[in-house]
Amino acid sequence: MTAFSFGAAAIVPTEKVLAPSDAVGLSPVGEGPMTKWNRIVLIGASTGGASAFEVLLRDLPADCPPIVFVLHMPAPHVKRFIERLDRTYDQSVLPAENGVRLLPGRVLVAPGGLHTAVHRVPDGFACVEVAGPARHGFRPSVDDLFLSAVGFAPNVLGIIMTGLGRDGAEGLRQLRSHGAITIGQDRASCTVFGMPRAAAELGAVMHMLPLSEIPRAMCRFSRTKMPGLPYDTESGIVE
């Protein structure tokens, strides 16, 4: 069963404030004005993912593309993880709770115990918490996040990072086949190369990049509306 709640009570009020020009949502491709970001970023990770995600936040701008992150982490630890990230980094880091909108500079981390999905809303995109069985033994599941966005894949940049197993591989494959740009973290920079390898074996990964290159690629790809563009790891230029 999917629970929807888009009321004000579902929005966490205490967050870092962006400049007014940045505090706007994204419109689906071809359906209205755009911010400088034309894609939302959906990320999944497991073993080693907490420290890898901190590298991303450290190297991303404060007004980064809207991010939703699923990490295989025991529920009691997720709240403290979110609070520490919000204290440490420039972005606004919040739980991905019902009705919380995806905005530039906002990083939403899936709470434990429920799946996290992303749905379209009239002025952009918002998170939805979904009650359901564990997938691949996990709740939240990376596959559930990715699969929720297949209907608007051209607005998505999907990233699969370090982790054991294959959670997220099929979801990333479907995102790519429906028009998303997809990235995998490379073997050398992974703690465990299981999840990116499983995704690559399905043909889901368009760009396999070292962790140090992913923040720059995120920003480059999130600005473009065109799928499948090459990425030069030397210059970071999308040609």
Contacts by 184-190, CB closer than 8 A, 24 or more apart: 184/159, 184/160, 184/208, 184/209, 185/52, 185/159, 185/160, 185/161, 185/209, 185/210, 185/211, 185/214, 186/210, 186/211, 189/52, 189/162, 190/48, 190/52, 190/161, 190/162, 190/163
Taking every pair of Cα atoms in the chain, the longest distance, rounded to a whole number of angstroms, is 46
Q: Name the catalytic one among 63, 86, 144, 167.
A: 167
Active site residue 46: yes
Alpha-carbon distance values, 228 to 154, 180, 233, 236 (Å) = 10, 8, 15, 15
Active site residue 90: no
Alpha-carbon distance values, 208 to 83, 88, 99, 181 (Å) = 30, 28, 32, 12
Q: Which amino acid, one-letter code, is at 225?
A: K
Q: Name the catalytic one among 27, 63, 72, 144.
A: 72
Question: Given the structure tokens 């190297």, which residue do they identify?
Answer: 59
Please give the Cα distance from 127 to 97 (Å, whole number).
6
Active site residue 167: yes
Q: b/e per residue, 182-218, with b = 16+ CB within 10 A?
A: bbbbbeebbbbbbbbbbbbebebbbbbbebebbbbbb
Q: 207 with 232: CB under 8 angstroms? A: no
Active site residues: 46, 72, 167
